[in-house]
Amino acid sequence: MAKTGEKSGGSGKKGLKRKAAPEEPQEAAVVEDGTTESGVQPPKAAAFPPGFSISEIKNKQRRHLMFTRWKQQQRKEKLAAKKKLKKEREALGDKAPPKPIPKTIDNQRVFDETIVDPNDEEVAYDEATDEFASYFNRQTSPKILITTSDRPHGRTVRLCEQLSTVIPNSHVYYRRGLALKKIIPQCISRDFTDLIVINEDRKTPNGLILSHLPNGPTAHFKMSSVRLRKEIKRRGKDPTEHIPEIILNNFTTRLGHSVGRMFASLFPHNPQFIGRQVATFHNQRDYIFFRFHRYIFKSEKKVGIQELGPRFTLKLRSLQKGTFDSKYGEYEWVHKPREMDTSRRKFHL
Amino acid sequence: MAATAARWNHVWVGTDTGILKGVNLQRKQAANFMASGQPRREEAVSALCWSAGGETQILVGCADGTVKHFSTEEGRFQGQRHCPGGEGTFRGLAQVDGTLITCVDSGILRVWQDNDKEASPDPLLELRVGPGVCRMRQDPARPNIVATGGKENALKVWDLQGSEEPVFRAKNVRNDWLDLRVPIWDQDIQFLPESQKLVTCTGYHQVRVYDPASPQRRPVLEATYGEYPLTAMTLTPGGNSVIVGNTHGQLAEIDLRQGRDNWEDEPQEPQEPKKIPSEDTETDELWASLEAAAKRKFLTSSDLEQTQDALQTRRRKRKRPGSTNS
């Protein structure tokens, strides 16, 4: 009854608890060191038998109370430990050991043999003579055809239009139910270098097929998180006709190199820096994030960016040698979920 | 260094840049061998085969029409021969009695004299096997018998010492249930040991067994696997089953007695079971495709036993009733 004087509900409950606690284990009156509950209680509260855990209490309310008390105890101890560590660091000053780096999934990435060594001559030769070599040698300049799957809805059409403003020298054509295998020879004869097909499902774009035209590789991506221009907050004005710069981030493996080169070959080789526009393909954990920004240097060290254009996320599903031929083509890489997604720390791009 | 390494390579791989790689699977290392010092796209390897007389020499067929001899004992290229004629890449190489047999895509099969001293520019024998050849294979038991097959080019077995006509010409299967002609696309051919039978795998995901000894010219057995073209096939040591691979990178073992698969790609295993023939033709993305399942062409060799023991211990998952004849 002495405890009822306290007004706060928690301690009132605690008072109840403290009165209840002595009732439970009737036998031992000695304070045990093992259990943490006894630490919180006043010294005269009864102790619990060793090996007692909160989960054995059948009453849900009491169990919950005990648990919350235990949690608060843990939190206090953790805070105390942190403070202590901080004090020690300050005391040591310069001699303090460096802060430990937190573990992230990207840090813990499993060693991949296909990660390209920058000095690798074989890969260098391969890239110097593959299908994109003519682009990288400035012999061909890109001309892109953008189309959709049959009967596209509004979002997809608008995405195509916005993409064509982002990618210079691109043309949007309405797909009138034509077979891709018939479109491709016509494109080749009209000197197109790349074909982009945006696949649509239930009125939203959800896939992207990127095919390099004269017999080049075809990549099939899953597209998600599509945001059109009007859905982007705090965006800048519409992009101008200047050729943007390209940023390709984190394409490390051999497969990543091929995909990165495919993206690079979509844009002309000579970015116009006056336009201050940049298209970024950032690969993280096998997801490729596409963003289109305009930057401005406010001072020597400060840069401001405005997001323009559409944004979307891509995930590679398959890479096929040769132009689009899903039935008889030879696949260089196919994403097989049951075999390739077994480890959370293994990535392929 | 190169000499000893050359002997302990389990798989020989030819690349699109002209490099021949010897892979040691135990140590997981690959060694590069080049005829000229630099990789060159014109020397892209299109056909590989062991030369006659044990597995000490490899014949490498390149895209520019040359056939190079590579000695695995010494680890270097020994000589080359220019084998012109016909369009397209090499689809099959063979060697018998000091002569070299080549077959190109357009269907010209030529037998060349392979002495080091004289390199006469003319072939000893020339045959036309029909356009669109995908594979030419020599019978290991009878070296002067070769088989050819391709896209819309039915399986034919030729005797090089016999007449100009094929010894066995396969007939297409009957029209399917819609009464349409079944197209032909033989991607790979193997001779079954201890019999005259041949197995082919097609681009329309069928595996067929032919028996020239029987009066039936149609396939004796037919099995299908998957829905993608089968590009590579190899025999298992028992002679009862074959392992096929398709363009999607999936492998399956097909039992020729029952006609259906025993295990397919098991998703749990971290590494695809490698077929361990001694040679392989792949593109330069060697490591990426060693990681994933093999998908290009394979040729047989006696080294198959080494890892076949590992493969045989895998339990058979499903047994299906025997396949139907065509």
DSSP letter at B151 equals B
| CA atoms of A182 and B279, how far apart (whole Å) | 37
Do A122 and B283 make contact, defined as CB atoms within 8 angstroms?
A: no
What is the average per-residue pLDDT within B231-246? 90
A114, A122, A334: residue with CB nearest B248: A334
How confident is the model at residue B292, as a pLDDT? 55
A190-to-A143, A160, A185, A214, B304 alpha-carbon distances in Å: 10, 20, 9, 11, 50
Domain membership of residue A260 (yes or no) is: yes
Domain membership of residue A54 (yes or no) is: no
B38, B248, B284: residue with CB nearest A126: B284
Chain A neighbors of B39, CB-CB under 8 A: 122, 125-126
Query: Which one of B134, B291, B296, B297 makes the best mutation probe of the A interface by having the most chain A beta carbons within 10 Å?
Result: B291
> Which stretches of chain A drop beneath a pLDDT of 70?
1-46
The alpha carbon of residue B101 is apart from the nearest alpha carbon of chain A, in Å, by 28
pTM > 0.80: yes or no? no
Do A333 and B229 make contact, defined as CB atoms within 8 angstroms?
A: no
Q: Which residues of B touch A (CB under 8 A)?
A: 16-17, 19, 32, 38-39, 41, 203, 228-229, 231, 247-249, 265, 267-268, 270, 283-285, 287-289, 291-292, 295
Q: What is the CA radius of gyration of chain B?
A: 19
A17: number of Cβ within 10 Å: 20
Total structural domains within chain A: 1
List, in sequence order, every beta strand (DSSP E) within chain A: 144-148, 170-172, 194-201, 204-212, 218-227, 245-249, 277-284, 287-297, 303-307, 311-321, 330-334
Tell me the CATH number at A249. 3.40.50.10480
The alpha carbon of residue B63 is apart from the nearest alpha carbon of chain A, in Å, by 15
Chain B neighbors of A339, CB-CB under 8 A: 265, 267
Domain membership of residue A45 (yes or no) is: no
Do A332 and B285 make contact, defined as CB atoms within 8 angstroms?
A: yes
What is the average per-residue pLDDT within B131-147? 91
Nearest CA in chain B to A327: B228
How confident is the model at residue B261, as a pLDDT? 47
Confidence label for B117 from pLDDT (cuts 50, 70 and 90): low
| CA atoms of A13 and A64, how far apart (whole Å) | 12
How confident is the model at residue B154, as a pLDDT? 92
How confident is the model at residue A199, as a pLDDT? 95
Region label for A154, one of left (φ > 0), alpha (ψ between -120 and 50) or beta (otherwise) = alpha
Chain B neighbors of A114, CB-CB under 8 A: 285, 287-288, 291
Nearest CA in chain A to B32: A122
Domain membership of residue A57 (yes or no) is: no
Give the position of tokens 């020397």. Answer: B43
Chain B neighbors of A330, CB-CB under 8 A: 231, 247, 295
How confident is the model at residue B266, as a pLDDT? 46
Confidence label for B238 from pLDDT (cuts 50, 70 and 90): confident
The dihedrals phi and psi of B196, each to the nearest 5 degrees, come to -95, 5
- pLDDT, tens digit, 9 for 90 and up, residues A54-67: 888 899 999 999 99
* pLDDT over threshold 90, residue B200: yes
Domain membership of residue A75 (yes or no) is: no
- Which structural domain range is residue A258 located in? 128-339
Confidence label for B55 from pLDDT (cuts 50, 70 and 90): confident
| CA atoms of A46 and A145, how far apart (whole Å) | 80
Domain membership of residue A115 (yes or no) is: no
- pLDDT, tens digit, 9 for 90 and up, residues B248-298: 999 999 988 865 544 555 444 333 333 333 334 444 445 555 655 554 544
Do A114 and B287 make contact, defined as CB atoms within 8 angstroms?
A: yes
| CA atoms of A104 and A224, how far apart (whole Å) | 24
* Under 8 Å between Cβ of A186 and A212: no
Chain A neighbors of B295, CB-CB under 8 A: 330-331
CA trace torsion B248, B253, B254, B255 (10° rounding): 180
Chain B neighbors of A327, CB-CB under 8 A: 228
| ipTM topping 0.90 | no
| CA atoms of A159 and A198, how far apart (whole Å) | 9
What is the average per-residue pLDDT within B107-128? 81
A331, A334, A339: residue with CB nearest B267: A339
How confident is the model at residue A332, as a pLDDT? 93
- pLDDT, tens digit, 9 for 90 and up, residues B60-102: 999 888 999 998 888 888 888 888 877 888 999 998 888 889 9
Domain membership of residue A240 (yes or no) is: yes
How confident is the model at residue B51, as a pLDDT? 85
DSSP letter at B41 equals G
Domain membership of residue A306 (yes or no) is: yes
Burial B225-235 (b: 16+ CB within 10 A, else e): bbebbbbbbbb
